[in-house]
Amino acid sequence: MDIKGDLSGIAAEGSSNPKIEERHSKIGFPYQAKKFPVEFFTLSDEKGTRLRATVSEFGPILISKILELNDTQSGLVAILFKYCDDNNLPLLDLKDFKKILQYCTSEGKKEIEKDYGSISATSIGTILRKVVELEQQGAEKFFGEKSFDVEDLLKVDENGNGIISVLRLIDLQDRPKLFSTFMLSLLAEIYSTFPELGDKAEPKLVIVIDEAHLIFKEASKALLDQIETIIKLIRSKGVGIYFCTQNPTDVPQAVLSQLGLKIQHALRAFTAQDRKMIKLTSENYPISEFYQTDELLTSLGIGEAAISALNEKGVPTPLAATLLCAPKSRMDILTTEELNNKINSSQLTSKYNQVVDRESAYEILNKKLEAAREFDLQVSKDSSYNPPTYNPAPKTTSRTTRKEKSTVEKVMDSSLTKQVGRTLVREITRGLLGVLGVGGRRR
């Protein structure tokens, strides 16, 4: 996850300098510059392969958690998803979801309530406002087709090296809800798609979440619970997750307790609050006979870290202060030309950047509403037509005879019968158009 935009240089070779040579002479490993195979992805208008998912793929439970809905509102979302499934109304993007919310409180209210229970207009209004809030953070660019296949995260290059997928999030720092939404959907999709592998020696996929505090910054309790559950279970799928943040306290304790590897760079104490935080952080590490942990964390230099991992029995290893190798790749960003060349040569870009907007709930419901309006307008015009009334000829001195109306004709001429007839025709036609009743549902 590239939040600051400084990770693109991993696709280019680094270069040596005296500081790097000095570092590697201390470590005992020669420095070797190297570039890595990289795919660039985006959730917004940044350059890269577009990542998308449909509303249907999220499902009612995840959508409800993202929108922070209560039980009643979540139940309504589940009803609407069920109605759309039963009536072949694909929910692909947010405009589809908004349309079904509007439809269920207007023309479609009676139809839905007949088979699925009552619909509260107040609750629907609340859900709609929350969808608009999510939309304002740019979520309409994320929801839609073509959906991203998580198997594409496992690609390797022609030399058998795993391809690093860099998600460019430079313009999403002020939109944490969208970032959290994507991360939760990605983890949920990986968990539901990947097969169980048990306790593997090395993972087949590693996810590194930089600036992890952005995930938890505005996350609701329901969202945090969902993340915690997935973090606990996803390791059996052969997936490793790394949270990177400047301060360990940015990560909730429930999530932090699930992480076996801890790499801590220097922490600086400028205030009393900083000292308390450092003291608290030091207590998250195994008790050491060699270091005063809180002092160690404030005395680490550039390229140094305190590390604790799990051994083969799953027990935390003693804390160790270490020197780190210098990055083999460029410690700077790619130029615009270099970035464009990388993106344009990607097979995934041509696969996912094509905009797909097939017929879905929005278009289907609009057609139904338009057909209903046209029919009502036609019926209204027909009902305003007043046929000429029969005026008997004036009496004359000559004898005239007039055939009396039959009983059937009298009944057919009554205004009540005309109204019943018009209503019957309207209901039958609406049923055929799929606007009302059981006859309107697709099978």
What average pLDDT does this structure show over 281-307? Answer: 86
pLDDT of residue 12: 93
How sure is the predictor about 218, in pLDDT bands with cuts at 50, 70 and 90?
A: low
Render pLDDT for 247-288 as a digit per residue (tens, 0 to 9). Answer: 787 888 878 888 888 898 988 888 888 888 888 888 878 888
For residue 428, pLDDT beyond 70: no
Largest alpha-carbon pair distance within the chain? 136
For residue 77, pLDDT beyond 90: yes
pLDDT-wise least confident of 131-140, 193-202, 384-393: 384-393
pLDDT of residue 10: 93
199: number of Cβ within 10 Å: 8
For residue 49, pLDDT beyond 80: yes
Render pLDDT for 374-393 as a digit per residue (tens, 0 to 9). Answer: 766 776 666 554 555 545 44
Which is more confident, 392 or 368?
368
The DSSP bridge partners found for residue 307 are 263, 320
Q: CA-CA distance, 410 to 287, in Å (whole number)?
A: 102
Render pLDDT for 147-181 as a digit per residue (tens, 0 to 9). Answer: 888 999 999 988 888 999 999 888 776 676 677 77
Give the CATH fold of the 8-51+148-352 domain: Rossmann fold (3.40.50)
Q: CA-CA distance, 273 to 50, in Å (whole number)?
A: 42
pLDDT of residue 442: 37
Which is more confident, 32 or 423?
32
